[in-house]
Amino acid sequence: MSNTGVKVWAPASVANLGCGYDILGLCLEKPGDEIIARFSDKKGLRITLITGSKKQLPTEVEKNTAGVAAMKMLEHIGESDRGIDLEIHKKMPFGSGLGSSAASAVGGVMAVNELLKRPLTKREMLPFAVLGEQVADGSYHADNVAPSLLGGIIFIRDNATLDVHRIPNPKGLQVVCVYPRIKILTKDARDILSDQTTLKNTITQTGNIGGLIVGMYNADLDLISRSLNDVIIEPQRAKLIPGFYDVKDAAMNQGAMGCSISGAGPTIFAICPNTFVAENTANAMQLAFKKHKIESHIFISPINQNGSYLF
């Protein structure tokens, strides 16, 4: 098996989940990245192939999120001289707010770990995947990487120390992601945010983050729905997405439990109680974008309980 290599799936993720700016993320089944690792006779890690990316991603290991993540991990376990070739097959849009670079970073550590017969646990791999994503993103944040790697809904008390915790989620929830064909640079999505907020909004936001977590533990769909409400980030970033409130209204009118911006956008996500509501919601959101003359792509996925996996 070592000679033929391993293939892993590294899924997309929805960061923030409305009220959980920087501290919540959810793992999708799809889209995502396929990453293949094979032993090579040449010394060291190489990226031999990248497919599926219109944007030219760098094949230099030290500039590539998957490459850096894998290399940091190999250094940690004392295997940095090991000859390993990586192939990255991107099966998700880049710059969509669905954690594309996080998926690649997760795929990098997962593929190498599987190839080497699992020297590390997933939790042990997490810091290296976060370092990998940092190459693309500039910040040390786990809100996409941790859910993509570990699965489920991940709560992060503190990013600097990777104080991450998986919280339960009610069965059957479906996540609709509608990716409009517009460009938002992560830098612009950051720069638009005020570094100040009001005490009143902070109280509301702490109430909602707490409500969301309590709702997840208690499988209380109504409480989750009341809590999926971001009074701080969404009102500022909505300006970057033409038609945002029409799309959100369309989702809520179809019975979505909540709807907000996925990560830094422009993808808009909606949490739905079942597949029927999810399909109606997705179509209504796409139609609402169309009225603003914006084409969009729909992804519907349950919450991925497994995170990244060998397949």
**Binding flag, residue 129, a second copy (CB under 8 A):** no
When asked if residue 92 is in the footprint of a second copy (CB under 8 A), the reply is no
Output the smallest distance, CB 197 to a second copy, in A: 5
Q: Name 87's bridge partners.
A: 36, 49
Say whether 294 sits in a helix, a strand or coil. Answer: coil
Structure tokens at 42: 């040449």
Please report how close the Cβ of residue 190 comes to a second copy at its closest, in angstroms.
Answer: 11
Set 59, 186, 197, 204: catalytic member: 186
Confirm whether 114 is a catalytic residue: no
Longest dimension (CA), the chain: 61
Interaction of residue 225 with a second copy, rule CB under 8 A: no
Q: Establish whether 133 is a catalytic residue.
A: yes
Sequence-separated (6 or more) residues with CB below 8 Å from residue 87: 35, 36, 37, 38, 47, 48, 49, 50, 51
Contacting residue, 61, 77, 120, 214, with a second copy by CB under 8 A: 214
| Residues 103, 93: Cα–Cα separation, whole Å | 11
202 near a second copy, judged by CB under 8 A: yes
The identity of residue 224, as a single letter, is I
Least distance (Å) between residue 198 CB and a second copy: 6
70 binding a second copy? (CB under 8 A): no
Tell me whether residue 165 or residue 290 sits nearer to a second copy (CB atom): 165
The active-site residue, picked from 133, 234, 267, 281, is: 133
As a whole number of angstroms, the distance between CA 132 and CA 112 comes to: 13
Asked if 43 interacts with a second copy (CB under 8 A), we say no
Q: Is the Cα torsion angle 100, 105, 108, 109 positive or negative in sign?
A: negative
* CA distances (Å), origin 293, targets 269, 287, 297: 19, 9, 13
Q: Which amino acid is at 84?
A: I
Tokens of 215: 């709702």
83 touches a second copy (CB under 8 A): no
Rounded to a whole number of angstroms, the minimum distance from the CB of residue 17 to a second copy is 11
223 near a second copy, rule: CB under 8 A: yes
Residues that bind a second copy (CB under 8 A): 19-24, 155-158, 163, 165, 167, 193-211, 213-214, 217-218, 223, 226-227, 232
Active site residues: 133, 186
